[in-house]
Structure 1
Amino acid sequence: MITDPRFDPRPDGRNETRTERFDRNWSDILQELRAVQTGTQIISGFLLAAAFQPRFTDLDPYQLTLYLVLVVLAASATLLGLGPVILHRRLFGQLQKERIVRIGSGLLLADLVVVSLLAAGVTSLIFDVALGRIEGFIALGLTLLAVVVLWVIVPRTSAERD
């Protein structure tokens, strides 16, 4: 029995079976993963290319540490994005769609958090290298503020309007 309202078969009054709802939810997850995957690939490509630039050897210890943390975050985001697909492959045809949707949704949420942190960190690194440490911290703060706005404020204000 499902107790999480996100996985209730008919919370919005649609005339669909439980299986149809899970299929639709799975399609939604895949669409969101495609959008996140593109951004992750672009950021990962930037990070990979940065290591082969002449100025890379000029990074100070803080910048190098931040860069390496960002590489780990990029790899983590890539793996989290693959997680739902791997899960689907492993459980495909075993009548586990509900489980796939529930776990896939959690992996997607984790991926979104990691990509949000990755974007903030990359912005900070670019500002740090281009302008200086203070500017890098300011860029990090502003980007994290944007993350909070997108994750907390926008959903709350749009829920209040409904």
Structure 2
Amino acid sequence: MTREGRRTGRDESEEERADRMWTELIQEVRVAQTGVQILFGFLLTVVFQQKYSTLPEAERTIYIVTVVLGACATGALIGPVSLHRLVAGRQVKPEAVRLAGRMTFVGLALLLATMASSLLLILRVATQGGLVPWLVAAVVAWYLVCWYGLPLWARRRRSNRPGR
């Protein structure tokens, strides 16, 4: 079936669909952007704290990795805004929506990695306990269920209905 012939459940042109999807995507990105910017801002302050100089090398390495991941996540989640500004009015919105969606997906994966490494660092400094890797793994598993597992399950369940 051709792109134009494919049913989307709405009576809209490709451009109208791109407009709607762009609006939805930007609303979704706003939530993630706020979280990653607050986390990244907090991470930037850690190095200026007195306790930072007393951290063992392993914790400093985790911190550096976490900051780099946070910077990458921030870039990927702000990327759709820059993309929109650079291509606005150029009749490429469907392509821009697809590219912005990919940037957002990458940004969310980087945000997951940033949050996991932040949690690892904080728990290592706070507890020095052997349960830290297990706790971080459990939280990451929870994020994976909430961010990817349930949405993919719902999508699969919807596509497996008769007549779909």
Per the normalisation by structure 2, the TM-score is 0.86
Give the Cα–Cα distance (whole angstroms) in 2 for the partners of residues 46 and 120 of structure 1. Answer: 15
Partner residue, 1:158: 154
For residues 9 and 35 of structure 1, the distance between their equivalents in structure 2, rounded to whole angstroms, comes to 34
Deviations 1:65-111 (A, max 9, x none): 11000100111011111211121122111101011001001000000
- Indicate whether 1:106 and 2:102 are aligned: yes
Partner of 2:131: 135
| Offset of residue 31 of structure 1 | 0.7
Relative contact order higher in (CA < 8 Å, ≥ 6 apart): 2
SS in structure 2 at match of 1:134: coil
Task: Give the one of 61, 65, 80 matched to 2:57.
Answer: 61
**Secondary structure at 2:12's aligned position in 1?**
coil
Work out which of the residue numbers 65, 74, 88 in structure 1 matches 2:84: 88
The sequence identity of aligned pairs, in percent, is 34
Given residue 8 of structure 2, which amino acid in structure 1 is its aligned partner?
D
Q: What is the Cα-based RMSD across aligned positions, in Å?
A: 2.2
Q: Which amino acid aligns with 2:119?
A: T
Unaligned 5+ residue runs, structure 2?
159-164
Q: Which residue of 2 aligns with 1:42?
A: 38
Report the CA distance shift for 1:26/1:9 in structure 2 as closer, same or farther (over 3 A). farther
Give the ranges of 4+ consecutive aligned residues of structure 1 lying more than 2 Å apart after TM superposition: 8-12, 133-136, 150-153, 155-162
Q: Which residue of 1 aligns with 2:29?
A: 33
Asked if structure 1 preserves the Cα contact closer than 8 Å seen for 2:33 and 2:78, the reply is: no
Could you tell me the TM-score, scaled by structure 1's length? Answer: 0.87
Q: Distance in 1 between matches of 2:154 and 2:20?
A: 23
Aligned pair partner of 2:66 in 66, 70, 80 = 70
Shift of the 152–100 alpha-carbon distance from structure 1 to 2, 3 Å rule, reads: closer
Structure 1 stretches lacking a partner, 5+ long? none
